[in-house]
Structure 1
Amino acid sequence: MIYHLATQSDWDEAQRTGAYTTSTRGVSLEQEGFLHASRADQWEFVRERYYADVEEPLLLLEIDTDLLDVPWREDPVGDDTFPHVYGPLHPSAVTHARLLSGS
């Protein structure tokens, strides 16, 4: 299981179109080349550092890597590694979308 922080509007668009393509806040898959993700022990840090000021509803997408139809891997980032998904995320690979904040 890996995790991705998503705004409600981006997740709604993915459910409408069948593909989630937001790499990270304000950056598309096309721009970055992969979707940023986190392990269970990393997502809260990512939320605090990059999403603390988000005012719209924020979701934590729980992604079952066994359900992905695109490659993913742990890549080095500084002194750690983070999971990256190398292609569009199909909503069927998301086992749960948990509301973290917003209305």
Structure 2
Amino acid sequence: MLEIPHVYHLALAEQWDPTATEPYTESTIGRTLEDEGFIHLSLARQVQGVADAFYAGRNVVILRIDPAKVGARVEFEEVPEAGDAFPHLYGPIPRDAIVSATPVPFGSDGRHDFSGLLPDPI
């Protein structure tokens, strides 16, 4: 498996069930792993841009994931519109791979405020 730091996934708060035990399979807003073929992930430096572009005004939970525990392939794939390569997980997220799941507050500017939620530099 590829040696990478923790990866992150933004989950809609209304869809996140902290008591669930089955693997997490939501890929992105309105699409599952089955629909998309992979689960969208981000590095810490990419999270704010993803939140701004796709989750503005929505209540989200940030999932911090240990890629060594996912058991499926993580590939970095170029997203031309973003000018960056994003990690994609080609399988479900086992619950034991989720290091933390934290609701993300909004800052005074109305954007998601990840201060203190991302241990890696953004």
Identify the TM-score tier after normalising by the shorter chain.
0.7 to 0.9
Q: Is the 8 A contact 1:3 1:37 kept in 2?
A: yes
Q: TM-score, normalised by structure 2?
A: 0.74
Task: Give the whole-Å Cα distance in 2 for the aligned partners of 1:17 and 1:92.
Answer: 9
Q: Identity of counterpart residues, as a percentage?
A: 37
Higher Rg: 2
C-alpha root-mean-square deviation of aligned residues, in Å?
Answer: 1.6
Is the aligned partner of 1:84 residue 2:91?
A: no
* Alignment match, 2:50: 46
Query: Whose helix fraction is larger, Structure 1's or Structure 2's?
Result: 1
* Alignment match, 2:112: none
Q: TM-score, normalised by structure 1?
A: 0.87
Instruction: Please give the residue correspondences for 1:1-103 in structure 2 after superposition, counting only pairs within 5 Å.
Output: 1-12=6-17, 15-54=19-58, 57-78=59-80, 79-101=83-105
Q: Which amino acid aligns with 1:85?
A: L
Shift of 1:20: 0.7
- Point out which structure has higher relative CO (alpha carbons under 8 A, 6+ apart): 1
Shift of 1:101: 3.5
Question: Runs of at least 4 residues of structure 1 off by over 4 A?
Answer: none
Uncovered stretches (5+) of structure 1, i.e. residues with no partner:
none
Q: Which amino acid aligns with 1:3?
A: Y
